[in-house]
Amino acid sequence: MNTDSGTYKKYADAHAKKSPLGKDCARAFLVGGAICTLAQGLTALYEWLKIDAENVGALVSVTLIFLTALLTGIGIFDKIAKFAGAGTVVPITGFANAVASPAIDTKGEGFVLGVGAKIFSIAGPVILYGTAAGALYGIIYWVCITLF
Amino acid sequence: MAQGIMRPLRPVWIADAATVVGHEEAAGPLGAYFDLHDPKDDTFGQKTWEKAESEMQRLAVNTLLGRAGWQDGEIERMFAGDLLNQCTGSGYGLLPFGIPYFGLYGACSTCAEGLALGALIGGAYGGRTVTVSSSHNCSAERQFRYPMEYGGQRPPTAQWTVTGSAAFLLTDDARDCKKNAPRIAEVLVGISVDRGITDANNMGAAMAPAALDTVCRYFSESGREPASFDGIFTGDLGAEGSSILREFARAAGIDIADVHEDCGNLIYNAAATDKHAGGSGCGCSAVVLGGYLLDCLRRGEMQDILFIGTGALLSPMSVQQGGSIPGIAHLVRITTKEDAE
């Protein structure tokens, strides 16, 4: 093998079996869509229960987070996610699973050094950069409404 | 010859092997060849996955020594390794045995590395050597990838860490062996090869150049033909790495396609159980050799094989830092032929 590293890397990338993009997209669309439909159903349910319109959105999110954490805890969520791919990652279910799964996984290392230290090991970047982006957007928004 | 094929100074036989696997491996195509398995959840009665891995090693060595009726004090030395940080799987698992212990890290090549060292040192100093290696899917997932319950998809080139451990008994005394015990005739120590692969989900491609280097060095020095062997078993390049190795070997003038198999492809029915590119981990090639291949050799179905352990020498941190993945491939020739040189 006299090829240099760059050439071999290109060869290996081209040789690698590709993910079935069409199938993955279709599954993500179906499951992601089903989750959104469920959320819409929950919205209708909470509105029908005469819950304050301001709180319905939060309550729907909390319900989805609870369901995800429950399904993660009983070992079902990862099987659904394996089928759905982005369909479960993109909605709030993906975020909830990313927090619940390390929490379950690190029990063996204790509640401080395990669960406490590692619960945000996957979701951490989303929380940090999400908060930072929110603050930055707030400053831009404030500057804009002050100046114009 | 410098950097070349080494032969043990006196014959070293593989007297016996014991294998312990998880429930998926036991349900796979080679399930009938393994000694013990956890029928349920692969915890082996332990509270953490790391302890489960240690327990597999303990069970493997215990079964091996128990079957032969040997005491700890009758074993001169032990070579062992696994995938966990600082090889704690072996460190804890082998505590109950009062046997002098060398810890090894060779990723998936650990089994071959242990056999190579066991044959060379056992051949030089005599006595009995135990070599052990293990991997546990759950402890490896936690350390190298994501938490167990994290929901995500793997690319088709990803390999599945095998839950398994195998222990081998090497001896220079023919009286320790049953009829038709194979011996380790030759050893070729691998050289680390890094061809710039950075994708930890494509370890087959990272390891294939190292396997190719070892294959080329072996056939160039020995002057033999691949067809003179009953099999060349790599472990574990998976489907992806195997096809790269065959292609580049053919280009180098060594056609191994007819005799080559990969332990990662043998252990699972990959398509039916969704194991993507096949099995991997220190336990994979170890249980395939200790369970299936040794059985074929003893029964005479095979007489002369090359066993090439291939390892991807990465760590979670090296991957996060964008480092490329070096591979290594150690070759061990295992034969029952009396006159094999």
Contacting residues of A for B148, CB less than 8 Å apart? 78, 101, 104-105
Residue A38 lies in a domain: yes
Q: Do A17 and B157 touch (CB under 8 A)?
A: yes
Q: In the prediction, which pLDDT does B5 show?
A: 97
Claim: this prediction has a pTM higher than 0.90: yes
Report the domain count for chain A.
1
State the smallest CA–CA distance between residue A84 and chain B in angstroms.
8
Identify which of B48, B152, B212 has the shortest CB distance to residue A81: B152
Dihedral over alpha carbons B234, B237, B240, B241 (to 10 degrees) = -80
CB atoms within 10 A of CB B155: 15
Contacting residues of A for B198, CB less than 8 Å apart? 9
Helix, strand, coil shares of chain B as percentages rounded to 5?
40, 20, 40
Task: Quote the DSSP letter at residue B42.
Answer: S
Q: Do A97 and B149 touch (CB under 8 A)?
A: yes
Q: In the prediction, which pLDDT does B203 show?
A: 95
Contacting residues of B for A81, CB less than 8 Å apart? 151-153
pLDDT band at A65 (very low <50, low <70, confident <90, very high): very high
* CA neighbours closer than 13 Å in the CB half-sphere of residue A146: 6
Q: In the prediction, which pLDDT does B174 show?
A: 92
Contacting residues of A for B212, CB less than 8 Å apart? 1
Task: Quote the DSSP letter at residue A19.
Answer: P
SS3 A31: helix
Place of tokens 């016996």: B16
Given a contact cutoff of 8 angstroms between Cβ atoms, the answer to whether B241 and B276 are in contact is: no
Q: In the prediction, which pLDDT does B213 show?
A: 97
SS (H, E, C) B93-128: HCCCCCCCEEEECCHHHHHHHHHHHHHHHHHHHCCE
**Residue A31 has which token pair?**
């499951």
Residue B280, exposed/middle/buried by CB under 10 A (0-12, 13-18, 19+)?
Answer: buried
Tell me the pLDDT of chain B (341 aa) as tens digits: 578 999 999 999 999 999 999 999 999 999 999 999 999 899 999 999 999 999 999 999 999 999 989 999 999 999 999 999 999 999 999 999 999 999 999 999 999 999 999 999 999 999 999 999 999 999 999 999 999 999 989 999 999 999 999 999 999 999 999 889 999 999 999 999 999 999 999 999 999 999 999 999 999 999 999 999 999 999 999 999 999 999 999 999 999 999 999 999 999 998 888 899 999 999 999 999 999 999 999 999 999 999 999 999 999 999 999 999 999 999 999 999 987 66
Q: Give DSSP secondary structure letters for A45-112.
A: HHHHTT--HHHHHHHHHHHHHHHHHHHHHTT-HHHHHHHHTHHHHSSHHHHHHHHHHHHHHTGGG-II
Task: Find all residues with CB under 8 Å of B188, minimum gap 6, and list them.
Answer: B4, B5, B6, B214, B217, B218, B330, B331
Residue A84 lies in a domain: yes
Per-residue model confidence as pLDDT tens digits over A97-135: 999 999 999 999 999 999 999 999 999 999 999 999 999
In whole angstroms, give the CA distance from residue B84 to residue A42: 45
For chain B, report the end-to-end CA distance as a whole number of angstroms.
Answer: 15
Task: Find all residues with CB under 8 Å of B318, minimum gap 6, and list them.
Answer: B325
Residue A79 lies in a domain: yes
Residue A65 lies in a domain: yes
Residue A111 lies in a domain: no
Given a contact cutoff of 8 angstroms between Cβ atoms, the answer to whether B284 and B164 are in contact is: yes
| Chain A residues near any Cβ of chain B (below 8 Å) | 1, 3, 5-6, 8-9, 12, 15-19, 24, 72-73, 75, 77-78, 80-82, 84-85, 88-89, 94, 97-98, 100-102, 104-106, 108, 122
Buried b (16+ CB within 10 A) or exposed e, B191-224: eebbbbbebbbbbbbbbbbbbbbbbbbbbeebee
State the smallest CA–CA distance between residue A18 and chain B in angstroms.
6
Residue A64 lies in a domain: yes
Average pLDDT, rounded, for chain A: 94
Q: In the prediction, which pLDDT does B1 show?
A: 55
Residue A146 lies in a domain: no
Could you tell me which of B12, B36, B16 has the C-alpha nearest to residue B333?
Answer: B12
- Please name the amino acid found at residue A58: A
Residue A28 lies in a domain: yes
Task: Quote the DSSP letter at residue B266.
Answer: H
Q: Do B324 and A80 touch (CB under 8 A)?
A: no
Task: Find all residues with CB under 8 Å of B44, minimum gap 6, and list them.
Answer: B38, B52, B55, B56, B59
Strands (E), B183-284: 183-188, 231-235, 260-262, 279-280
In whole angstroms, give the CA distance from residue B340 to residue B183: 10
Q: Do A72 and B324 touch (CB under 8 A)?
A: no
What domains can you pick out in chain B, each with its CATH number? 13-175 (3.40.47.40), 184-335 (3.40.47.40)
Strand partners, B35: none
Contacting residues of B for A73, CB less than 8 Å apart? 149
Residue A44: give the domain boundaries. Answer: 21-105
